[in-house]
């Protein structure tokens, strides 16, 4: 796991540095996490993403220059660098999560019927198509669930420490059905 983290970080850094010498050429940086593993990715703006098993993270070479857009399929625990002028945007299926500096978790596996966003610190704006009309602003200790089938968002209060226990190798279940656990 440590080797995967180092390799992922070095590849991201190499791609970012190489981009400085390539004129106007655009490419996609991608991190794929094998099943049963976790990987920590250091982004060019010093933000950190810890990715869970089976996750895929993508961003283009314009990251931190004209945008800070991230594409996530899977689960990621984000520690976003504060004080940046360009908003940080996670695109996870039908949902977008926009922040300027905060700590949050997004669970958005393509095969799941729901997308989950849990906020630990700061504030995030979660929306589908329209950032201002179809959105929810989360405060710390709030959890948003988006149902892909009904396209409805539901917000609840939680203990935020429960949403990132996976980053420590802990499986945490609270009021979960046996089907959800399986």
53-108 pLDDT, tens per residue?
A: 999 999 998 888 888 999 999 999 999 988 778 899 999 999 999 996 799 999 99
- The proportion of the chain whose per-residue pLDDT surpasses 70, expressed as a percent, equals 85
Q: How many CA within 13 A on the CB side of residue 35?
A: 1
- Please report the pLDDT score of residue 180 as a whole number: 74
- Please report the pLDDT score of residue 6 as a whole number: 61
Higher-confidence position of 125 and 18: 125
Output the pTM of the full model: 0.77
- Please report the pLDDT score of residue 132 as a whole number: 74
């Amino acid at each position: 796991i440590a080797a995967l983290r180092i390799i992922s970080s070095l590849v991201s850094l190499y791609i970012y540095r190489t981009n400085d010498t390539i004129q106007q050429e655009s490419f996609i940086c991608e991190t794929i996490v094998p099943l049963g593993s976790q990987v920590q990715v250091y982004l060019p703006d010093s933000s950190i993403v810890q990715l869970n098993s089976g996750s895929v993270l993508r961003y283009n070479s314009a990251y931190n220059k004209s945008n800070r857009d991230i594409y996530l399929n899977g689960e990621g625990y984000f520690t976003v660098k504060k004080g940046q002028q360009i908003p940080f945007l996670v695109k996870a299926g039908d949902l977008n999560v926009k922040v300027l500096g905060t700590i949050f978790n997004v669970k958005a596996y393509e095969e799941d019927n729901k997308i989950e966003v849990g906020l630990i610190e700061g504030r995030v704006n979660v929306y589908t198509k329209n950032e201002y009309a179809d959105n929810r602003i989360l405060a710390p200790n709030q959890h948003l669930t988006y149902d892909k089938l009904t396209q409805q968002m539901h917000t609840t209060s939680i203990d935020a420490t429960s949403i990132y226990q996976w980053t420590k190798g802990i499986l945490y279940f609270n009021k979960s059905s046996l089907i959800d656990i399986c």
